[in-house]
Structure 1
Amino acid sequence: MNAKTFEPAAELSEDVRTRFLIDGKWQVPLGLERFDLVSPMTETVTLNVPLGSHADMDVAITSARRAFDETDWAYLAPSQRAQYLNRVADEIEARIELFKRVWIGQVGAPAWFVNAISGAAVGHFRFYAGLSETYPFEEQRIAAAGSVTVLREPVGVAALIAPWNAPLVLLTQKLAAALMAGCTTVIKPSPETPLDALLLAECVVAAGIPAGVVNVVPAGREVGSRLVSDSRIDKVSFTGSTDAGRQIAKVCGERLARVGLELGGKSASILCDDADLDDWMRTLAPFTMPFSGQICFAQTRVLVPENRHDEVVDAFVAGVEKFQVGDPWQPDTVVGPVSLARQRDRVLNYLDVGRAEGARVATGGGRALGFDRGYFISPTIFDNVTNDMRIAREEIFGPVVSVIKYRNDDEAVAIANDSEFGLSGSVFSADAERAARIARRVRTGQISVNSFNLDVIAPFGGYKNSGLGRESGVEGLGGFQETKAIFSPT
């Protein structure tokens, strides 16, 4: 087997390739719909997989509902559920190299990014298992008359809908919290990336999670809509586009189902006039277009002071032009292909939009040269961008960054906040206190000072159109809970 290609027929079990996990068993699909998984490097079909039908989804929902209503899963002591979570973490850890290969093979995520991020999948399960010892699942309070017991109970059956770009990490972020809370789940991975969720299902089975607690059915949008609208689903947790998130929120709002949304971003990296440019280039430049910019926290607006504009642009262009573009399996590749043909076309269209709006292409601006096959786009920096341009306001989801000038700290904050999004960000300054003051003023869910960080202990999510609620951290557990107060006269 070639270590630098992914061969799903040889590397994955027949269950993962051909079946769904429903009610604790690997089930043959009830429908006939199939989907071709296409390599973004070669544009060839790597595997033909089944997609779930309405009937498959109905059986999965029934299974999850029964597991919540008729078994003791929701009433186990937190320490008992923690044991299950730690066993799942062990199983993921044992397969982590295969999970990495699945990620690279399905969507072309570069190895450096996959190696940096994949460990969070284990981290999510370990973190939430650890909360069993410290989290206030139950607490006593003194009331005006007697006492009150506050219980934090599972919300019920949770639908977990994962996107195509980083399915393992984003799915474990949801699943670990949902299981620790005591929920049962129906997982719907994207049609383009079903393998991560099904390989995770193998981990769940091996860890002994009771039947019906975790169900996995890859499906398209129509069947996914059925999942979201089903009255047996108590909570929908969705990661994906803002437009899709709006539709899900509308459906959930009509039936007052709980909903959590992790959506788009157009995050700003602010370089102060005293910032160490070399440090910014080393630390942050790769995260302006990580995974070819197909990640929600990409720092796609770079805000630079007028008096350092030319210096920053020259250094940024020089650095990006050194980024190795190509085979994502190679450890020195910084930018691989975009993942899907439709994504390639979307990004190329935005390059035309940027030119038409009057922005200057400082580097890149089209298909990457030297590739006969694959969805490769040259890393692109637009200069002379104003914050009212579409390329500065809309999430492109490609290796495209806008450089925007500002005059002072107040204007930098105003530009950063002049966005419908508010997911991530960064501030660089030689004066750490100054950078921290600026960071506090930016309306965003996460922001780093003189660094770029993600961590399972920190809440992740956004302001404004970047979503509703938080995942990861203690806050992520609360998203899968209801709160009950029980009064007692003594």
Structure 2
Amino acid sequence: MLQHDKLFIGGDWIAPAGTGTIDVVSPHTEEIVARVPDGTPADMDRAVAAAREAFDHGPWPRMTMAERAAVVGRLAEIYADRQAEIAETITLEMGSPITFSQLAQAPQPLGMLQYFAGLGATFPVEDERPGAFGPITIRREPVGVVAAIVPWNVPQFVIMTKLAPALVAGCTVVIKPAPETPLDSYLLADMIKESGIPAGVVNIVAAGREAGEHLVSHPGVDKVAFTGSTAAGRRIASICGEQLKRCTLELGGKSAAIILDDCDLPSAMGFLSIASLMNNGQACVAQTRILASRRRYDEVVQAVADMVTGQAVGDPADPATGIGPLVAKRQQDRVEGYIRAGLEEGAKPVVGGLDRPFDRGWYVAPTVFAGATNDMRIAREEIFGPVLTVIPYEDEGDAIRIANDSDYGLSGSVWTADADHGVDVARQVRTGTYGVNMMNTMDPNTPFGGFKASGLGRELGPEGLSAYLEYKSIARLG
């Protein structure tokens, strides 16, 4: 069993303030595979103090953005050499199929490091505008100490949506990984030490909710960057609002895939299998509402059912596995609760149901519901598991109405033989990202975030870097 007994604070490995530990449990075997310290509020105080010292008195914010970008580029080079280890670690700790870990969990964080290193090399820190009484210098300065609170489903990906732009901007960071997935952050800490990032610029403390709320509330934190549930996001937003603290929130989703009548179903299903079921359905952008016209409804239901049954369910370390276990017993119970709710509300399970695939491991049967309406819980609430709901629509306008009839607005897609018309549909759906004949893959160069209850602010792209900058206007005469 792997064991860590230190926390990464102030550029070094130090003993935790408390004696509590976190057991990392394999979702496949239900056995303990690692143990790490459980961070306490006192540990968060030390981490914030280290970040505060590094920001207020250290060299990092005082370097040029191009100099910081070069260091982030070195971190990317180190990261590139350890992708296989990162992928295997994430599969071990949270059950992501190894093929998904190798294609997304490890490479996408690397892509973000490389992107922001390139962006920072040329990003304008100052520019001038004409003012009423003379020239005005517009200056961009780092926001300060950032608390980055990340979930367990794509831990390195979400860390990098926050860490990469924050570092380039000149911020210092305290990262709180989820207690389910602390192991990959230990690998990251080793890479940060090797990269030459100054001590205290990045601090990592895995912990639970109490220490996390302490971090959010800490007066030494200038900005909170959070990815997770909408309920937790509301709590964080209320704390930040009371303190007038900056925050970005990337929250839940209940995205709709609109299948238009001219869609080539066999072609679409190959892409939709990834868009709907990636990471065992544990993705905020998953396309879990499938909207099909009544004219082709039965045909679409069958195609979706065939797509789901074509996914091998099993050991996430096996390259043949398409769907692995859920991250924890509570998540298994949650998803099965939604399957039960779908049955009680009258939806028909075409595939799957409540029979578990295996006696051991936190698996649920991948499930497709037909005969569903958009007012059912399975169509309105984020399930975060391999459960898809096929909903009929009357015409294209009705499909757009159903897609928009949601508390969320994070992602979505349309599937059609006419891509230009698909873009017209995309313009009418109120979500932060959208795909035509694909799922928007969160390109590092484009802003990512949601409408409505899916969050506040944007990550990635130049907009993501700007989220870690404060704007200062300097007017002068003479």
**Shorter-normalised TM range:** over 0.9
How far has the Cα of 1:367 moved from its partner?
3.7
Equivalent of residue 476 in structure 2, options 460, 464, 488: 488
Matched ranges for 1:123-272 at <5 A: 123-272=111-260
Instruction: Report the AA paired with residue 388 of structure 1.
Output: D
Equivalent position of 2:297 in the other structure: 309
Kept after mapping to 1: 8 A contact 2:256/2:290 = yes
CA distance in 2 between partners of 1:20 and 1:60 (Å): 9
How far has the Cα of 1:94 moved from its partner?
1.4
Kept after mapping to 1: 8 A contact 2:281/2:384 = yes
How far has the Cα of 1:453 moved from its partner?
3.4
How far has the Cα of 1:276 moved from its partner?
0.9
How far has the Cα of 1:405 moved from its partner?
0.6
* 2:70 counterpart of 1:83: yes
CA distance in 2 between partners of 1:133 and 1:326 (Å): 44
CA distance in 1 between partners of 2:384 and 2:438 (Å): 22
Instruction: Report the AA paired with residue 137 of structure 1.
Output: V
SS of the residue 1:233 aligns to: coil
* 2:404 counterpart of 1:417: yes
Kept after mapping to 2: 8 A contact 1:181/1:481 = yes
* 2:419 counterpart of 1:432: yes
Matched ranges for 1:315-354 at <5 A: 315-354=303-342
Kept after mapping to 2: 8 A contact 1:272/1:409 = yes
Deviations 1:273-320 (A, max 9, x none): 111111111111232121111111110000001100011111111221
Equivalent position of 2:60 in the other structure: 73
Equivalent position of 2:378 in the other structure: 391
Instruction: Report the AA paired with residue 181 of structure 1.
Output: A
Equivalent of residue 465 in structure 2, options 473, 477, 490: 477
Kept after mapping to 2: 8 A contact 1:367/1:376 = no
CA distance in 2 between partners of 1:209 and 1:173 (Å): 18
How far has the Cα of 1:28 moved from its partner?
1.1
Instruction: Report the AA paired with residue 153 of structure 2.
Output: N
Equivalent position of 2:46 in the other structure: 59
CA distance in 1 between partners of 2:35 and 2:138 (Å): 50
CA distance in 2 between partners of 1:367 and 1:464 (Å): 35
Equivalent of residue 35 in structure 2, options 1, 25, 48: 48
CA distance in 2 between partners of 1:463 and 1:232 (Å): 29
* 2:18 counterpart of 1:26: no
How far has the Cα of 1:34 moved from its partner?
0.9
CA distance in 1 between partners of 2:7 and 2:81 (Å): 22
How far has the Cα of 1:183 moved from its partner?
0.3
Matched ranges for 1:98-117 at <5 A: 98-117=85-104
Kept after mapping to 2: 8 A contact 1:421/1:466 = yes
CA distance in 2 between partners of 1:138 and 1:176 (Å): 21
Kept after mapping to 1: 8 A contact 2:70/2:121 = no
CA distance in 1 between partners of 2:419 and 2:316 (Å): 35
> Where do 5+ consecutive residues of structure 2 fail to align?
none
TM-score (norm 1): 0.95
Equivalent of residue 366 in structure 2, options 376, 379, 385: 379
Kept after mapping to 2: 8 A contact 1:64/1:215 = yes
CA distance in 2 between partners of 1:472 and 1:483 (Å): 18
Kept after mapping to 1: 8 A contact 2:127/2:138 = yes
CA distance in 1 between partners of 2:289 and 2:165 (Å): 32
CA distance in 1 between partners of 2:107 and 2:220 (Å): 33
CA distance in 1 between partners of 2:343 and 2:314 (Å): 25
TM-score (norm 2): 0.98
Equivalent position of 1:457 in the other structure: 445
CA distance in 1 between partners of 2:270 and 2:22 (Å): 40
Kept after mapping to 2: 8 A contact 1:286/1:334 = no
SS of the residue 1:259 aligns to: strand
Instruction: Report the AA paired with residue 408 of structure 1.
Output: D
SS of the residue 2:427 aligns to: helix
How far has the Cα of 1:166 moved from its partner?
0.8
How far has the Cα of 1:144 moved from its partner?
2.1
How far has the Cα of 1:461 moved from its partner?
0.8
RMSD: 1.1
CA distance in 2 between partners of 1:132 and 1:282 (Å): 37
Equivalent position of 2:285 in the other structure: 297
| Greater mean deviation of Cα atoms: 129-138 or 185-194 | 129-138
Instruction: Report the AA paired with residue 391 of structure 1.
Output: I
Equivalent position of 1:93 in the other structure: 80
* 2:270 counterpart of 1:285: no
Deviations 1:404-430 (A, max 9, x none): 111111111110010010111111111
Deviations 1:112-148 (A, max 9, x none): 2112212111111111111123322211111122101
How far has the Cα of 1:79 moved from its partner?
1.2
How far has the Cα of 1:442 moved from its partner?
0.5
SS of the residue 1:289 aligns to: helix
Equivalent position of 1:4 in the other structure: none
CA distance in 2 between partners of 1:79 and 1:480 (Å): 16
Kept after mapping to 1: 8 A contact 2:253/2:411 = yes
Instruction: Report the AA paired with residue 80 of structure 2.
Output: E
CA distance in 2 between partners of 1:474 and 1:384 (Å): 43
Kept after mapping to 1: 8 A contact 2:287/2:411 = yes
Instruction: Report the AA paired with residue 382 of structure 2.
Output: E
Instruction: Report the AA paired with residue 302 of structure 1.
Output: I
SS of the residue 2:240 aligns to: helix
Deviations 1:426-466 (A, max 9, x none): 11111112111000111001101112231111111111000
CA distance in 2 between partners of 1:326 and 1:22 (Å): 38
